[in-house]
Chains A and B, each alone.
Chain A
């Protein structure tokens, strides 16, 4: 058990993976200097420039080269800086990484992890603030992960590297400094959600930074007699239906909250699945369908706050 922040936890998990498996390599812009968020600090000194590979600003080739590495036997971890930049590599993600194994009839596999952080972060504006997890959840072949804690950024990154599928790994830019106890030996499983707080009136499903907002909302709700069960989904695809449905069966009400735009968001998928399977009451809460503004008052319009979550929970379970 060690105390570390979210960035350090990811770095530690990658260090261990590279130490244990010579096929694991890291590539991307600025990784040799430790990454712009410090999430690769010390790795090039430890493993050399042939395994921690500095690259030009060539997103398509960073992703495409990772596909070629994987098809030829390596297990690359790809740095995309932010998901917004990964859009320059969408052919390589969607048409190559996600499809190669199937198209080639199982002759090749693409065990790679593409780290593409999401989320608003201090006035980063419209091209550096998006949360696009739903895009990737829509693509067969991909796994989508969004850790909310230091422990999970360690355990889920290790699981992502080990799983053998192409994984879209979405850290949140505002969480890099979040500290927590990390138990490396605990291990984490992809596709397993966590019940972060037990409750009986409303099931609240969320992920990434919104987990912390949701926990604040649940605390405030408790004070007014509303009991919210908070579930951190952790893996967006394959999402943990069993845990979510078990809770929703109990409470009869399901609220899904996410930082991404509500329209076409992954919350819609979860809500629809719950209605089809259980007939429970559902509600979605996400950002308005507007670009994220630079100025704080504008950026705040896109934020889903603890207060908004509480309001949505109240609407779902009126006193």
Chain B
């Protein structure tokens, strides 16, 4: 199915997941204000502590790719991973509890935003180290191949990751072993506070992948229907034992590097142009073009906000981890010898 032949029901489903991610990021951002002593912000008693890397504006990449994944498929994510986690099917309530550091969060408060994971839906973890998910995805693909079936690993990473060694190592490895991995370069064009283009030689992500022998596609990462269609093509090739594929999805980071970063280092014009390409706005136009009702989208927005507001209320009232939990889930060999 090409992106022009999308059904209204499918379009609305994609829009709904994007709206849920947007609502989640907005709520998490509000709850984090003043929480980190960096980028000129001061310490205070924010509900969400620690660095919060928002994927606001990048929803179409997570949603378009995950629309092509099933329950058996696995996913590795980045420090900016809320969208991937939601799109893979995780519970917004348990995610919010984790961001609030509560015992009922996915990681029991041990991981927070940068390490959020839901193994029950095949989401093998966000990661605080750029490009670190690439080798992990490669290994997980070996494990999938040892099973029956045609499951694959979707490996998300940012544009900054293509300048780290594991990018070369992991793509080469997946190529020689013909592993079922969809490498997704979610290119938001910023590496923390530095424009990635200024730090990247050559023709960029897809050209590098192709040079290593991993074929792929480039796509407008703000167009969820285009991402969905490209992911459909690539995942079909992978599932047909075609080996790894690469998707270069160009999008834009609408927020700062972390939630308290006002991103004053980039121009108003650049941001204004990016806002005109907001993936939810683009999807709204497309839905209307295929006969969708804008009022229906407004209902979806409202439902997403209500779901997230409820999650915030639950998280705010959820129990804190017991101190004893600091000593669990570390190692069995030598367990108990934490204070020598």
Q: Which residues of A contact B (CB under 8 A)?
A: 22, 25, 50, 53, 55-56, 58, 60-61, 63-74, 76, 91-92, 95-96, 100-108, 140-143, 163-167, 190-191, 237-238, 241, 273
Contacts and interface: CB of A to CB of B under 8 A. Distances in A.
Contacts of A22: 146
Contact of B139 (A65, A191, A241): A65
Contacts of A143: 331, 333-334
Interface in B133-155: 134-146
B107 A107 contact: yes
B177 to A, nearest CB: 8
A69 B165 contact: no
B106 A105 contact: yes
Contacts of A63: 135
Given A65-B136, A108-B117, A103 B125 contact: yes
B129 interface: yes
Contact of B169 (A50, A60, A73, A142): A60
B138 A105 contact: no
B118 interface: yes
A91 B337 contact: no
A155 to B, nearest CB: 15
B329 A102 contact: yes
Contacts of A96: 127, 129, 132, 136
Contact of B146 (A56, A74, A191): A74
Given A72-B144, A73-B143, A108 B115 contact: no
Contacts of B107: 103-105, 107
A71 B136 contact: yes
Contact of B132 (A76, A92, A101, A104): A92
A56 B105 contact: no
Nearest to B124: A71
B332 A163 contact: yes
Interface string B147-191: 000000000000000000110011011001100000000000000
Interface of B: 74, 76, 105-111, 115, 117-120, 124-125, 127-129, 132, 134-146, 165-166, 169-170, 172-173, 176-177, 328-334, 337-338, 340
A68 B333 contact: no
Contact of A61 (B124, B128, B166, B333): B166
A55 B136 contact: no
B143 A105 contact: no
A63 B146 CA distance: 19
Contacts of A163: 332-333
Contacts of B173: 55-56, 58, 61, 65
Contacts of A100: 125
Contacts of A237: 334
B139 A102 contact: no
Given A60-B165, A60-B166, A96-B132, A76 B172 contact: no
A102 B142 contact: no
Contacts of A141: 330-331
A103 B115 contact: yes
Contacts of A191: 333-334
Nearest to A58: B169
Contacts of A69: 139-140, 142-143
Contacts of B165: 60
Contacts of B333: 143, 163-165, 167, 190-191, 238
Given A74-B146, A103-B107, A238-B333, A58 B140 contact: no
